[in-house]
Structure 1
Amino acid sequence: MTEPQTPARPANWVDSRISRTSDALDRAFEEGLTGHVVTSHRGKRVRLEDGSEALEFVSCSYLGLEEHPALISAAEEALRHFGVHLSTSRNRMRPHYLGELEELLSTVYRGNRAVAFTSVGTVHLGLLPLLGAGALPSYPVAPAGSVFLLEKTAHSSMQVLRGVLGQIGPTLRFDLGTPGSLEAALREGAQGGRTPVVLIDGVGSMGGLVDVTGVLAAVAPYGGHLYIDDAHGISLAGRHGAGYAFDAFGDRLPPHVVIAGSMSKAFGGSGGFALVPTEADVRVLRKFANPLVFGHSVMLPLLAANVASARLHLDGEVAALQERLWRNADAFDALTGGRLINAGLRSPVRGAGFATEEAAFRTAAELKEAGVLILPAFFPTVAKGTGLVRFALSSLHEPEHLETAAKILEGTAIG
């Protein structure tokens, strides 16, 4: 008697990703090229668990604010007054730092309203379903509902939500690197009268600056909304460090735009925030954004550090650190002959791209041997079969640090 056959499980995106991914990341861990265990960190020097010291181009704290005395003092004071954590939903009890932070951010963003979350990922999770459902007063959607248009290279924390967003409306992908792709997605998505909700990054984590004004101009004729994950751009542009996207829009939040920002990178603290135009939008988020209703606030010492950092944004210190960062970026571009990804751009990320994974491994190993830590990236972060060595630049890097890294790249087959 023939045994009944178990039907094959339908393919899904997790299966597809796993089946197409090589063992490159496992190899990078095994060879000590990533996953470094750090026992101390000062400036851009780290001590590793084997006692050796190294120079790092890995941290996304592009302005070095995590070591600023004002942030450290604020965190210590919060520990003395509260302990490590106030374990409650912000709708039940909220530390005074939370309101202070959101008011300071409102000043940075010229009266627009900021709502703090524990991460940029929880901003996406809490806000995007409400945006697509038309629940936010400043962002209405048509009676037919919404359609989410997700840019191919947008951060994984948005890509992974496609299943959740699909319960609100259809989800389509487009590629800004392909001419006409956005326009085609807008036309397709708007069929049937749906409101497009376009999801993009601002500053790419691996390379590139998205033309946010151009994307908004393309979206406008369709009556759509634009959602920008500007995690890597916050603090890096604008007189008060409002960030790449806000600065690109002329130091304003245009109608139909939401900005998601990070306080865990150049900002120097921890957490994320959503930027919306009105208090009515804030009230909806506080009542219905799942991570706010059922999750805790940013851990108290870091919440206090965020407040201190926001004050530095407003008093001019962040603007001075921006200048140091861009001087370092210009110097590194000159030392590497303008060959790196993002050369000449106002991005803190530089990348050495390689046609093969093996070439990227060799360069990462040479850098590690010279005491330089970087981030090696392989598929699906970059195209299948290729590799990238990413340098995160900081205002804290000294000229000799840049020279050391550039020297190793001389003669490598970048491209």
Structure 2
Amino acid sequence: MAKINHNNYLDVVDNVWTSAKEKGIMHINSEEQSFNGEKFTIKGRDLINFGTCGYLGLETHPDLIANSMELTKKFGTQLSMSRAYIRPTYIQELEELMSQVFDGNKVICYTSTSNAHISVIATIIKSNDLIILDQQVHFSVQFPCKNMKLQGTEVKMVKHSNYEMLEEMIRENYNKYNRIWYMADGVYSMHGDLPDTVILKKLLDKYPKLHLYFDDAHGMSWDGKNGAGYIYDRLGVNERIVLISTLAKGFGCVGGTAIFADSEMYRRTDVFGGPLSYSHPLSPANVGAAIASAKIHLSNDIYTYQSELKELMSYMDGKLKEKNLTNISSPDSPIYFIGSGLNKVTRNFVHRILQEGIYVNTATFPVVPNDKSGLRFTLTRHNTKSDIDLLTDAMAYHLPKAIEEEGDNVERVYTEFGFHLPKNENNLQIEPINNLNLVVEEYTTIQDINATDWDLMFKDRGNISHSGMQAMEEIFSNNDKPEENWSFHYIIIKDKNGKLVLATFFTGAIYKDDIVAQENVSKQIEEIRQNDPYYLCSKTLAMGSLFCEGDFIYLDIEHSEWRKSVNHLFDFVSKVKKDIEATAVIFRDFDEGHVLSQIIEDEGYAKMRMPNTNIIKNPKWETTNDLMALIKSKKKRDNIKQYAIRHLEKFDVKIKNQITDEEAIQYFDLFENVKKNNYAFNFFQYPKKIAKVLSKYDEWEFIEISLKENNHVVAVVYGCIGDDHYCPIIVGLDYNYIETHQIYKQAMFQMVKRGNDLNKKTTYLGLTADFEKQKYLALTVPVWAYLKVDETYNLELIESYSNI
């Protein structure tokens, strides 16, 4: 079977961040000609800085600047050679000072913390080790772990700071591996939350094979003795704890550090630690600043700076509580997250704060769940209490304004983040006014919907006519397996005069979360599903269903109330999602530039690429020679002649409407062959009764392809006949004849021929095998879906299965 275009986690990031860039809240160019840490100049305006991670403000310290200049004068701008050959005196001095900061433990300094992770993980982790990643551990840790999979190291993931899940995973795998590494952040950079070091210490004591690997970049300098950081202050390092920290952020410079208590780990990494040896060392300018910062860390000045920042943190915490803002961050870190809910609300909220002359960050899906995005900011010694007053006043004023302006409910948002909204004159909740011009009808079966009304909208959209929906409901009801039983949810919106404005349907079903993942990823996951069939599966509410593809929504955009009808649609989806306890919602399938695309994104849905769909606008032909004349490409004509037309005499082709029980089983088995061999669009198998049920409905037929020599059925196509279209939905194949008789290519030819013989305007050839279908003049149409999930863990775990 041919390959398809796959959705990729980074594609989702690209879509979300591109949207934020277009809104002017990310990838902003600043214009200041000098920087003292206090303000950015953006579009000619000075904005108070609440966005940088130089927590102690050391990047502007005169000692760091002076020593950076001095070493540059002495040693030039770089030493262009690997430290495997020469380690210059200034790097020796820096590493000795950093060793003192960390109580004499061995330290290696890198050009960045990311390079430190690449170097250390590749050096100390073995193929018989197990890596367990915290869900929110920094990407710079996750990235080199993908490389470790290539050497055979097992990599797993636990939900963020879920220590029960961590311990269960340790127990399950304890006798399988030599060492088990839990990798986490010391301070998480998005929500500013902290790991529970007390629990982790108990786990270390309980499980001798357990090792801890921390990225404490955001904990460095502002906390602990000598500013050695949050984790070092509470756990230190030993033979089973490795710490990666930074010369950047609170330390005030550029670079990363690896701290070892195990002499052999240090020796191996120092001798050849990947980029430590094959890339440039830190420049004299960076080292000069770092040496000056290290000396500050070894003096009493560090405690003065820490105290000043923590006084500001305490003041900020009090103001956030006073303003009843949705702060979900730890009061013990200088990173703050104010929950605002939907992406569109967050964009509005952040934009409003920027307009007030205050620079803050945004945090959106997929870093956080769709409905739980928010405003992120940091606190540094550059800030003042007056700055804090301005920021908290602005957030308290603009958060409810942004929520209401984007059509959300303030109380809902506060509840979503675990806060109570007291009722007073400043935040009275205005109940939505019912739209008397629209009538909303909701149904759970097509039987209750007028067939004429439904077919007026959907009869020529694949297999979702009124009768087609009856067949679908019958197939996916009253089955033994939960994944084979779907719930159906219809919404029809009319104006007060009975004119149709909007209609669509959703199905509730168990989805495989890797439905559009890369095939090699799904194959790995399917191996686990042999023993755990619902691994990485979610109850999903999806527009349309997994037994159809196409345009599932009727919307009269000429109607004056169409936008209000869309608001009713979102309310309907929210209610049904809650009723069926779904954790994911998907809107599909939309062409690029659809009128609803931006509206759906604004509701917090992430845009993701689906497999292309293929459509033939049937040109009428009588003979195969006529068909060949329509195809301009000689290469395509020759391919069809060689692999399809040349074999025609080998087959008997029959069109059947009524089939026997034996044929129904045979047809299902042929389809099951395809399903088992194709992970391109990964979903649960259909119920075995599907062919028998479809044979009861007049618009369904089966193209049976058998060998003339022995009447053996080698292929079958399940097709739905509409008024103006033909829609082959399912193909079944005997894989013993794939190569010898080219039966897939024969089935493709017969599908196209059948649409032509029926004299239909359009044949819908569906997903996958784009190249094969394009030979027959099919138009390949890019299709998009929009996803919203309650929790990003499954998506991140699926992404972790992919290798580089």
Tell me if the contact between 2:122 and 2:144 (Cα under 8 Å) persists in the aligned partners.
no
- Alignment partner, residue 46 of structure 2: 53
Q: 1:326/1:340 Cα in 2 relative to 1: closer, same or farther (>3 Å)? A: farther
Amino acid at match of 2:237: L
- Alignment partner, residue 37 of structure 2: 43
Structure 2 CA distance for aligned equivalents of residues 365 and 24 of structure 1: 16
Structure 2 CA distance for aligned equivalents of residues 117 and 19 of structure 1: 31
Amino acid at match of 1:155: H
- Alignment partner, residue 233 of structure 1: 219
Q: Which of these residues, 262, 265, 279, is aligned with residue 246 of structure 2?
A: 262
Aligned-residue CA RMSD (Å): 2.0
- TM superposition shift of 1:41: 1.4
Structure 2 CA distance for aligned equivalents of residues 256 and 46 of structure 1: 43
Q: 1:89/1:351 Cα in 2 relative to 1: closer, same or farther (>3 Å)? A: same
Deviation by residue 1:183-213 (Cα, 9 ceiling, x = unmatched):
1221233242432111111111012101134
Name the stretch that deviates more: 164-173 or 63-72. Answer: 164-173
Amino acid at match of 2:305: L
Structure 2 CA distance for aligned equivalents of residues 177 and 286 of structure 1: 32
- TM superposition shift of 1:331: 1.0
Q: Which of these residues, 209, 216, 226, is aligned with residue 194 of structure 2?
A: 209
Specify every segment of 5 or more residues in structure 1 that has no aligned partner in the other structure, as ranges.
134-143
Matches within 5 A, 1:315-330: 315-330=299-314
Stretches (4+) displaced over 4 A: 19-22
Matches within 5 A, 1:74-93: 74-93=67-86
- Alignment partner, residue 275 of structure 2: 291
Specify every segment of 5 or more residues in structure 2 that has no aligned partner in the other structure, as ranges.
401-413, 418-804
Q: Does 1:149 align with 2:132?
A: yes
Name the stretch that deviates more: 96-105 or 338-347. Answer: 338-347
Tell me if the contact between 1:355 and 1:387 (Cα under 8 Å) persists in the aligned partners.
yes
Amino acid at match of 2:260: V
Name the stretch that deviates more: 324-333 or 220-229. Answer: 220-229
Q: Does 1:100 align with 2:86?
A: no
Structure 2 CA distance for aligned equivalents of residues 20 and 191 of structure 1: 38
Amino acid at match of 2:16: A
Structure 2 CA distance for aligned equivalents of residues 244 and 270 of structure 1: 19
Matches within 5 A, 1:16-415: 16-18=8-10, 20-21=12-13, 23-38=15-30, 39=32, 40-48=34-42, 50-133=43-126, 145-166=128-149, 167-178=151-162, 180-207=164-191, 208-220=193-205, 221-249=207-235, 252-337=236-321, 339-341=325-327, 345-411=331-397, 412-413=399-400, 415=417
Compute the TM-score of the two structures, normalised by the length of structure 1. 0.89
Q: 1:343/1:179 Cα in 2 relative to 1: closer, same or farther (>3 Å)? A: closer
Larger Rg computed on CA atoms: 2
- Alignment partner, residue 136 of structure 1: none
Q: 1:393/1:237 Cα in 2 relative to 1: closer, same or farther (>3 Å)? A: same
- TM superposition shift of 1:31: 2.5
Structure 2 CA distance for aligned equivalents of residues 340 and 96 of structure 1: 50
Tell me if the contact between 1:228 and 1:260 (Cα under 8 Å) persists in the aligned partners.
yes
Deviation by residue 1:117-162 (Cα, 9 ceiling, x = unmatched):
11111111111122212xxxxxxxxxx8211111101001112233
- TM superposition shift of 1:178: 3.7
Tell me if the contact between 1:54 and 1:371 (Cα under 8 Å) persists in the aligned partners.
yes
Amino acid at match of 1:106: S
Tell me if the contact between 1:130 and 1:289 (Cα under 8 Å) persists in the aligned partners.
yes
Structure 1 CA distance for aligned equivalents of residues 40 and 135 of structure 2: 35
Structure 2 CA distance for aligned equivalents of residues 79 and 173 of structure 1: 44
Higher relative contact order, chain-length normalized (CA < 8 Å, sep 6+): 1
Tell me if the contact between 1:333 and 1:340 (Cα under 8 Å) persists in the aligned partners.
no
Equivalenced residue count is: 394
Name the stretch that deviates more: 377-386 or 69-78. Answer: 377-386
Compute the TM-score of the two structures, normalised by the length of structure 2. 0.47
Structure 2 CA distance for aligned equivalents of residues 384 and 211 of structure 1: 26
Question: Comparing both structures, which one devotes a greater share of its residues to strand?
Answer: 2
Structure 2 CA distance for aligned equivalents of residues 22 and 130 of structure 1: 32
Structure 2 CA distance for aligned equivalents of residues 29 and 47 of structure 1: 17
Tell me if the contact between 1:175 and 1:181 (Cα under 8 Å) persists in the aligned partners.
yes
- TM superposition shift of 1:345: 2.3
